[in-house]
Amino acid sequence: GDSVTQMEGPVTLSEEAFLTINCTYTATGYPSLFWYVQYPGEGLQLLLKATKADDKGSNKGFEATYRKETTSFHLEKGSVQVSDSAVYFCALSVPSGTYKYIFGTGTRLKVLA
């Protein structure tokens, strides 16, 4: 069935370090792919998305490229800040007549000053 697998956390980095959070997926159709971010005490909010192969989503210095050949959507940022500390969720949605929106288990990122 359809699924999302993302790397286990927590990920701890120093400020200005390079960030990669891996996400791979399995889907029967042609999914849209998303990264959501959850700051402490808040709900999830969309960080970026890509709706077809080779699309790159970007926002707030974060980027992710929809790679159909490797079924991946890895999240990257060149220089993280303390304010990026949060939980990051990869998700996919497959167009169908019924609900098909699947979230990964989340990766906690902690950035140290």
Binder of another protein out of 49, 66, 109, 111 (CB under 8 A): 49
- Residue pointed to by tokens 């974060």: 62
Binder of another protein out of 44, 72, 76, 110 (CB under 8 A): 44
Q: Which of residues 58-87 bind another protein (CB under 8 A)?
A: none
Looking at 45-53, 54-62, 64-72, 78-86, which segment touches another protein (CB under 8 A)? 45-53
Judged by CB under 8 A, does residue 26 bind another protein?
Answer: no
Judged by CB under 8 A, does residue 100 bind another protein?
Answer: yes
**Cβ 34 vs Cβ 91: under 8 Å:** yes
Long-range contacts of 93-100 (CB under 8 A, 24+ apart): 93/31, 93/32, 93/34, 94/2, 94/27, 94/28, 94/29, 94/30, 94/31, 95/29, 95/30, 95/32, 96/29, 100/2
Q: How far is the CB of 30 from another protein (least distance, A)?
A: 10
Q: How far is the CB of 15 from another protein (least distance, A)?
A: 27
Q: Assess whether the previous peptide bond of 31 is cis (omega < 30° from 0).
A: no
| Residue ranges in contact with another protein by CB under 8 A | 32, 34, 36, 41-46, 49, 51, 89, 93-101, 103-106
